[in-house]
Structure 1
Amino acid sequence: MNSSTQLIYVYDPMCSWCWGFKECWQKIYAELASELDIVYKVGGLAADSDQPMPENMQRFLQQTWQRIAAQTGARFNFDFWKNCQPRRSTYPACRAVIAARQFDKEQAMLQTIQQGYYLQAQNPSDLSTLVSFAQQLNLDRDVFLARMQSAELEQQLQQELAYVQQLPIQGFPSLVLRHQQQYHAIAVNYTDADDVINRIRAVLN
């Protein structure tokens, strides 16, 4: 593994396009994990908010879900929009995956959040939901809750968001290959993992 070469996956746990990219990304990861240092970085779609999501945004996001499902085959549980109080707030979920990273469970937390949100109609904007997810991963409830509410974690989040903003990305999900001190944006293909792998290897070669 070449430690000076790094594949950076920039995502948000509540980004629906990241959910649509999940199957393709898993194939890319499986193919390249033994060759490259692969790191996850959160992008932070939406800051903390207690305000209900406006109706027009709810309609827009439901249409987005339908478009992603048609394009990628990803499944969505639209009961979320009836059973939950949507808020435009993804920072809590971003904190949760960074908190889980400390215990080497970032990918597991991401998967749990995505499945809870998109398949089980649970709301990852709620701290109580995220604590429940942590318990599913056998993380200590009180330790996780204290971590989520710590100034240290907030600082980590803000530093990560600032780092991501310096990368050549235009949204989420994004792939950036750091190779020979240069950063290369890798185009995301939602249905063809081999296409993405070939783009990465073309830069390496």
Structure 2
Amino acid sequence: MTEPGNTRHLFELFIFTDPFCTWCWGSEPVLRKTRESYGDQVRFVFRMGGLVESVKDFNDTLNKINGKNFYQKMAEYWEMSSQRHKMPVDSRFFAEYKTDFRSSWPACLAVKAAQIQDEELAARYLRRLREAGLAECLPIHRRQTQVELAEETGLDGEQLKGDIDSGAAGHAFEADMQEYHTQGGEAFPFYVVRHMGGEEIPLNGYVSSMALEKLLEKMSGGKLERRQPELTDDNVVAFVEKYGKVAVREVGELYFIPIREAAERLDRLVEEGRLGKMKAGNGWFYLPPTAPAAPA
């Protein structure tokens, strides 16, 4: 696997995140658009930040979420955030798993264990954890679910467990959190945009695709080659087939069209049998037509 610092890339985008962070989930359309626009010119490097070490001790004064009201208020926060970032969420998670969800750290450890095996598969695994936890109400804090999703993604489930139990994933996670603080992280997501010429710029919190594109173009001195795919039915179907599960917002973001227009096109493609569709919390996922769909 390519390691950070490889000069084949013009940029490395370090993304400090957490599988349970709703605004990290809300940033997925931005990341997918960046991938589609710049390809291998921008290398993504995922770091785990550890959003919720302990529900009991959690204290978000800005959003008034703490250990006493965590499950109710976090569910409300997911719903409120979804109305803004437009990615689907299933806030029933916090009522469904109130008895045993105590921390987001186990999911972070699972991602670090996946990265020990394969960085590319680990990135797909992180995305799958987000889909499962935030939109499909699956218990991604539980080891069994983590292993099942790892194997679904193409990882070795037994090795994943072993790298967690041995402490290898924990050491890598600790290094990520230290780097987050050293780099000036104050929110999630947190980015460090590194130009291969040496310049680095940190970005705290949600960043729009337009703002990120402008920064990359400026830092590159015009050397980035940007691709904008044409909005056609064939291209939309190819986009869904490439990623497996796609939300309406991701199509709207990629083609710079309103959510309603994206939804209408996707639904028409479903009616024509070119795509599948499954319920995902307060929204939908669109799938390749051969993919298994959960009941609506």
Tell me the TM-score normalised to structure 2 length. 0.61
SS in 2 for 1:10: strand
Task: Indicate the residue corresponding to 1:68 in structure 2.
Answer: 81
Task: Indicate the residue corresponding to 2:200 in structure 1.
Answer: 183
| Alpha-carbon separation, structure 2, partners of 1:44 and 1:130 | 16
Matched residue type, 1:98: K
C-alpha contact (below 8 Å) 2:12/2:42 kept by paired residues: yes
Aligned length: 203
Rg comparison, structure with higher value: 2
C-alpha contact (below 8 Å) 1:108/1:137 kept by paired residues: yes
Q: 1:87 aligns with which of 83, 98, 101?
A: 101
- Cα deviation for residue 42 of structure 1 reads 1.2
SS in 2 for 1:131: helix
| Alpha-carbon separation, structure 2, partners of 1:71 and 1:108 | 25
Task: Indicate the residue corresponding to 1:17 in structure 2.
Answer: 23
- Cα deviation for residue 27 of structure 1 reads 0.6
Task: Indicate the residue corresponding to 2:122 in structure 1.
Answer: 106
| Alpha-carbon separation, structure 1, partners of 2:206 and 2:148 | 33
Matched residue type, 2:114: A
Alpha carbons of structure 1 residues 88 and 32: separation in structure 2 relative to 1, 3 Å? farther
Q: Greater shift after overlay, 181-190 or 18-27?
A: 181-190
Deviations 1:32-64, CA, capped at 9 Å, x for gaps: 33223321111111236799x945111221121
| Alpha-carbon separation, structure 1, partners of 2:123 and 2:220 | 25
C-alpha contact (below 8 Å) 2:11/2:42 kept by paired residues: yes
Task: Indicate the residue corresponding to 2:90 in structure 1.
Answer: 77
C-alpha contact (below 8 Å) 1:19/1:74 kept by paired residues: yes
Task: Indicate the residue corresponding to 1:120 in structure 2.
Answer: 136
Q: Greater shift after overlay, 71-80 or 174-183?
A: 174-183
| Alpha-carbon separation, structure 2, partners of 1:169 and 1:153 | 21
SS in 2 for 1:78: coil
Off by >6 Å, runs of 4+ in structure 1: 48-51
SS in 2 for 1:163: helix
1:4-43 correspondence to structure 2 within 5 Å: 5-43=11-49
| Alpha-carbon separation, structure 1, partners of 2:70 and 2:174 | 25
Q: Structure 2 unaligned runs (5+)?
A: 1-6, 58-65, 222-296
C-alpha contact (below 8 Å) 2:23/2:206 kept by paired residues: no
Tell me the TM-score normalised to structure 1 length. 0.86
| Alpha-carbon separation, structure 2, partners of 1:47 and 1:189 | 21
- Cα deviation for residue 26 of structure 1 reads 1.1
